[in-house]
Amino acid sequence: MGGDSDRFIMAGKVAPYHYLRPTLAHELTLIRDCRPMTFRAGRHFLQLPGPTNVPDRILRAMDRPPIDHRGPEFKEMGQRILTGLKEVFQASEHVFVYPASGSGSWEAALVNTLSPGDRVLRFDSGHFAETWGGVAGALGLGVDVLPSDWRKPIDPAAVEEHLSGDEDHVIKAVLITHNETSTGVRSDVPGVRAAIDRAGHPALLMVDAVSSLCAMDLLHDEWGVDVTITGSQKGLMLPPGLSFAAVSRKALDAHQKAELPRSYWDWSAMLTSNESGYFPYTPATNLLYGLDEALEMLSEEGRENTFKRHDRLAKATRAAVAAWELENFCLDASGFSSAQTTVKMPEGTDADELRKVILERFDMSLGSGLGKLKGDVFRIGHLGDVNELMIAGTLCGVEMGLGLAGVPHRPGGVRAALEVWSSEGGDA
Ligand code: PLP
């Protein structure tokens, strides 16, 4: 045997002929040797606006066997977590936790508070606003869509105007995205609350805080939000797999009358079990170990410090983008996001090509353009467990990638970012 005729191609690699023999050992060897991954030294840079880097402390906390989720040890942890979450959301009533991705809480928010025939109001403000509206539509709810510029925050005055015209109050909920992760634009949640109040309309205010929670201030109670939802894989620094919904008294009251069918998401069953620190079905125990640790880490850093850190990283990233003479996708400074910076590509260049070069050459993942923004933007995540040096490395990777991919830009973005931190202390 030997020579080219004895070889075959698998997963892009040439494998020797003897791998074809069908013994288990050989099959395992074949699977291992033909993995398409090449060896990478050092740590992968996961600079997406979610999933984000999971700190070693959290990974270690999860690295132990599940316990009896109906036993006393679990009860103690469950109660601690449910209390700790109230602090994170600044919500006094309750925070529901599901073994689900963030999308689960989109559905939970709707099915627990609304009834067949109800309408919701949303903005055409980005991919995630669109997708949440799609969930409402799939549940048979009517969806009113207000036009919006994806490059700017939503306009609260449009909510007031639309709700003022809804004299019969058929609109039961206003759905908004705090940080629209597809665009990197932050919207004014208290402004929307005030607009609903000015219209004298009873609609619930539901806020998607999937990529804003822990990166920027969010005061569920004080801002008059009725349901705030998020997922675990962003500012909470956990792996994907948990979904959350903080609720107001008004949302809980609406739940009593809501008639959309529900089972898995049902708040009543969850509330009953949560009272004693338990869940109505098997919870994601190991992710909850991680959440317990994440809550501890967040309290060690302190809310204000966490927000300031994100602001500092965002400010330097924006300085880099400006120095490269590239465009921040967000056109309105009031909408700048502390969680991510979305960069618009120069005409005639492709963001996915750039991301590919950066991934292959520097082992760094950046966020892609979603929906209609595919290829036109890339997204730099500065969300979760990140610090200055991690963002400096990230910006180095982007700057080198811009050069290698032949994207027209001016060098000096990294230097501009470093100057933000070194000259001003970087507080935004
Ligand atoms: N909402 C926003 C703003 C998001 O960024 C995402 C995901 O990135 C989602 C909702 C959906 O969350 P998941 O993918 O965890 O279901």
Please choose from 101, 128, 234 the residue to mutate so as to test ligand 1's pocket, defined by most ligand atoms within 8 A of CB: 128
Q: Which residue has the higher pLDDT, 14 or 413?
A: 413
The answer to whether residue 413 sits within a structural domain is yes
As a whole number, mean pLDDT of residues 291-295 equals: 98
Please state whether the peptide bond connecting residue 411 to the residue before it is cis, i.e. omega within 30 degrees of 0. no
Clarify whether residues 334 and 322 are in a common domain: yes
Q: What is the pLDDT of residue 423?
A: 86
How many domains, in total, are found in the chain? Answer: 3
Percentage with pLDDT > 90 across the chain: 89
What confidence tier does 361 reach under pLDDT thresholds 50, 70, 90?
very high
Ligand 1 atom closest to the CA of 180, numbered from 1? 3
What confidence tier does 35 reach under pLDDT thresholds 50, 70, 90?
low
Clarify whether residues 293 and 363 are in a common domain: no
What confidence tier does 22 reach under pLDDT thresholds 50, 70, 90?
very low
Distance 189 CA to ligand 1 centre (A): 18
Q: Which residue has the higher pLDDT, 203 or 4?
A: 203
Clarify whether residues 372 and 340 are in a common domain: yes
How would you class 363 by CB atoms within 10 Å of its CB: exposed for 0-12, middle for 13-18, buried for 19 or more? Answer: middle
The Cα 356–Cα 271 span in angstroms is 46
CB within 8 Å of 173: residues ≥ 6 apart: 109, 110, 113, 114, 118, 120, 121, 203, 204, 205, 206, 226
CB within 8 Å of 334: residues ≥ 6 apart: 153, 188
Is any atom of ligand 1 closer than 6 Å to the C-beta of 181? Answer: yes
Residues 315-324 pLDDT 10s: 999 999 999 9
Query: pTM, whole model, 2 decimals?
Result: 0.91
Ligand 1 atom closest to the CA of 50, numbered from 1? 8
Percentage with pLDDT > 70 across the chain: 90
Considering Cα of 262, then 264, then 267, then 273, what sign does the dihedral take?
Answer: positive
Residues 210-252 pLDDT 10s: 999 999 999 999 999 999 999 999 999 999 999 999 999 999 9
Residues 140-194 pLDDT 10s: 999 999 999 999 999 999 999 999 999 999 999 999 999 999 999 999 999 999 9
Q: What is the pLDDT of residue 358?
A: 98
CATH number at residue 175: 3.40.640.10
Clarify whether residues 184 and 65 are in a common domain: yes
Q: What are the helix and strand counts (H, E) for the chain?
A: 14, 16
- Residue length of the chain: 428
Q: Which residue has the higher pLDDT, 383 or 27?
A: 383
Alpha helices (H) along 47-155: 56-62, 72-89, 102-113, 127-138
The Cα 339–Cα 16 span in angstroms is 48
Check: CB of residue 107 under 8 Å from CB of residue 231: no
Which SS3 state, helix, strand or coil, does residue 143 take?
strand
The answer to whether residue 49 sits within a structural domain is no
Clarify whether residues 279 and 307 are in a common domain: no
As a whole number, mean pLDDT of residues 275-283 equals: 98
Distance 20 CA to ligand 1 centre (A): 43
Clarify whether residues 103 and 232 are in a common domain: yes
Check: CB of residue 387 under 8 Å from CB of residue 309: yes
Distance 370 CA to ligand 1 centre (A): 12
Clarify whether residues 327 and 248 are in a common domain: no
Clarify whether residues 311 and 294 are in a common domain: no
Q: Name the residue among 424, 421, 402, 423 with its Cα closest to residue 411.
A: 402
As a whole number, mean pLDDT of residues 200-207 equals: 98
The answer to whether residue 77 sits within a structural domain is yes
Check: CB of residue 363 under 8 Å from CB of residue 388: no
3-state helix, strand, coil in the chain (%, to 5): 45, 15, 40
Residue 21 structural domain: 10-38
Q: What is the pLDDT of residue 23?
A: 54
Is any atom of ligand 1 closer than 6 Å to the C-beta of 338? Answer: no
CATH number at residue 309: 3.90.1150.10
Is any atom of ligand 1 closer than 6 Å to the C-beta of 210? Answer: yes
Burial annotation 159-178 (CB, 10 A radius, 16+ → b, else e): bbebbeebeeeebbbbbbbb
The answer to whether residue 5 sits within a structural domain is no
Check: CB of residue 267 under 8 Å from CB of residue 96: yes
Beta partners for residue 247, in sequence order: 94, 227
Compute the mean pLDDT over every residue in the chain, rounded to the nearest whole number. Answer: 93
Q: Looking at 271, 299, 327, which one is the last position of a domain?
A: 299
Clarify whether residues 123 and 171 are in a common domain: yes
Angle at 96 between CA 93 and CA 101, to 5 degrees: 145
Q: Name the residue among 349, 351, 353 with its Cα closest to residue 377.
A: 351
Distance 180 CA to ligand 1 centre (A): 9
Q: Name the residue among 88, 111, 337 with its Cα closest to residue 206.
A: 111
Ligand 1 atom closest to the CA of 212, numbered from 1? 3
Q: What is the pLDDT of residue 218?
A: 98
**What are the structure tokens assigned to 184, written together?**
């990197």
What confidence tier does 63 reach under pLDDT thresholds 50, 70, 90?
very high
Q: What is the pLDDT of residue 427?
A: 57
Clarify whether residues 263 and 325 are in a common domain: no
**What are the structure tokens assigned to 86, written together?**
């109230």
As a whole number, mean pLDDT of residues 199-206 equals: 98
Model confidence at 38: pLDDT above 90 = no
Residues 107-131 pLDDT 10s: 999 999 999 999 999 999 999 999 9
As a whole number, mean pLDDT of residues 93-103 equals: 98
Residues 328-348 pLDDT 10s: 999 999 999 999 999 999 999
Q: What is the pLDDT of residue 316?
A: 98
The Cα 364–Cα 368 span in angstroms is 12
Q: Name the residue among 58, 153, 88, 62 with its Cα closest to residue 306.
A: 88
Is any atom of ligand 1 closer than 6 Å to the C-beta of 160? Answer: no
Please choose from 101, 105, 210 the residue to mutate so as to test ligand 1's pocket, defined by most ligand atoms within 8 A of CB: 210
Is any atom of ligand 1 closer than 6 Å to the C-beta of 407? Answer: no
The answer to whether residue 50 sits within a structural domain is no
Is any atom of ligand 1 closer than 6 Å to the C-beta of 53? Answer: no
The answer to whether residue 2 sits within a structural domain is no
Q: Which residue has the higher pLDDT, 107 or 28?
A: 107
The answer to whether residue 221 sits within a structural domain is yes
Clarify whether residues 143 and 276 are in a common domain: yes
Clarify whether residues 138 and 183 are in a common domain: yes
Distance 129 CA to ligand 1 centre (A): 10
The answer to whether residue 238 sits within a structural domain is yes
Q: What is the pLDDT of residue 31?
A: 54
